[in-house]
Each structure stands twice: as C-alpha cells, then as structure tokens.
Chains A and B, each alone.
Chain A
Amino acid sequence: QVQVVESGGGVVQPGRSLRLSCAASGFRFSVYAMHWVRQAPGKGLEWVAVISNDGTNKYYADSVKGRFTISRDNSKNTVFLQMNSLRPEDTALYYCAKDSGAVAGTGWFDPWGQGTLVTVSS
C-alpha cells in the first residue's frame, strides 16, 4: 500500500545538526512532490518544506529558511531533511507527507508517516 516511513530523529544539542529520512513505497515516487511538516508537543501543525518531483524546486517556511535543506533521491524513493543550527524551538514530531501533485501547487498531503521525534536540548 501507499506509505511513507520517517527515521533519523533523536536528542541533539542546540547548534548541532541532524538528518531525517523518509522512505516511500507503494507509488511512483518520482512523480510526486514531497513535504515535511512538524508538530511541536501539544501544538498545531506547521509546514516546513517541500521539494518538487524532480528535485529542482524547493521551498521553506521562514522559520527554517537558511538552516534546513530538503533533498530527494528518486533512485532510492527517499526524501531527506538536513537540519543545521538546531534550536530548542525546533523540538517537534517531524512528519513526511506525499503531495497529490508533482509540484507544490494546490495538492493535498496524503499519506503521512507516523513521524520521527526531534528533541533539541542541552
């Protein structure tokens, strides 16, 4: 079935880096844009970043711009989120989600993974 599975979360000190991965299966990965969305403990959903199907277009939320980088490997059906200069306010459950289209247009996000928890603390 169509699914995405995140990994790579953990506890990291402020200022350090972490790389998240999202493995996709059950659909033609290279056809669809992919998103990262995060949810801080007890808070709402926050869109983080999107990458187009071929990796040429990438967009970021202002809160992570310049610190996070989204990328993908279509040969391995995987999307990544490289997170640098991490801050305590980046602590959240990070979800990967498939877009319904090829670029970040009017598409909806489905499915979502179970998420991977990132905790930034000294």
Chain B
Amino acid sequence: QSVLTQPPSVSGAPGQRVTISCTGSRSNMGAGFDVHWYQQLPGTPPKLLIYGNNNRPSGVPDRFSASKAATSASLAINGLQPDDEADYYCLSHDYSLSGGVFGTGTKVTVL
C-alpha cells in the first residue's frame, strides 16, 4: 500500500518557523497529482489547511504556507502559536490505488 512519508514529530518555540516534509513517489506526487494538508486537533476530525499544493481556504491564517516539487511537498508554519499544537497530514492521489493516500502524520509541539 502506497504511503506518503512525514517526520513523526517537529517542535519549535512560540514565534518560530517549523516545516513539515511529505515525501511521495512516481505514482502519486511524482505523477503530477496535487498535495493537500490537514490539521487534526485532539479528539476532532481533520481540518483542511491547504488545498491544491499552496492554497489556503478562507479562515486559515497566512502563517500557514505550502509548496510542492516533484515527489515531495512541505508545509511551513510561521510565527508558531500554542494553538498550532496538533497532528498534520498530507494527502495526495495515487494512480496505482485509484484513490487517496495520506502521509504518516507529524505531531507539532510548541515548546
């Protein structure tokens, strides 16, 4: 089963910048499929953070940004805040599955 690889955890002090990587393969991101990002707070469903590689839905602060290149993508959080403590997941499409594939998830800790 295809999967996108993320670091298990990242941390930073309030106000700092952290980045989360998402590494895929030729059957998903490398095939040109978009990457989307989700934030999941404890006990809640995932919330759409970024869609179409680098677009923010209305209401998402511009502290969150993302980019994609070939078989990898990254999410950046600028000006880290305590409320940013959550799990973050990337999502893409995989043609070998004809369905979605999620990243392994990254826990962000604000020190």
- Using a CB–CB distance below 8 Å, which chain A residues touch chain B? 35, 37, 44-47, 49-50, 59-63, 95, 100, 104-115
Indicate if the CB atoms of A35 and B100 lie closer than 8 Å: yes
The CA-CA distance from A113 to B93 in the complex, in Å, is 21
State the majority secondary structure of interface residues on B: strand
- Report the stretch among B19-27, B45-53, B69-77, B78-86 that lies at the interface: B45-53
Does A60 lie within 8 Å of B36, measured CB to CB?
no
Of the residues B33, B87, B99, contact of A50 by C-beta under 8 Å: B99
Contact status A109-B1, CB under 8 Å = no
Q: Counting chain A CB atoms within 10 Å of each CB, which of B1, B33, B45, B89 scores highest?
A: B45
Interface residues on chain B, number (Cβ under 8 Å): 26
Q: Which of B32-47 contact A (CB under 8 A)?
A: 33-34, 36, 38, 40, 45-47
A61-B99, A108-B34, A110-B48 given. 16 additional CB < 8 A pairs?
A: A35-B99, A44-B104, A45-B38, A47-B101, A62-B1, A62-B97, A104-B99, A105-B93, A106-B33, A106-B52, A107-B93, A108-B52, A109-B36, A110-B51, A110-B57, A114-B45
Shortest CB-to-CB span from A81 to chain B, Å, is: 14
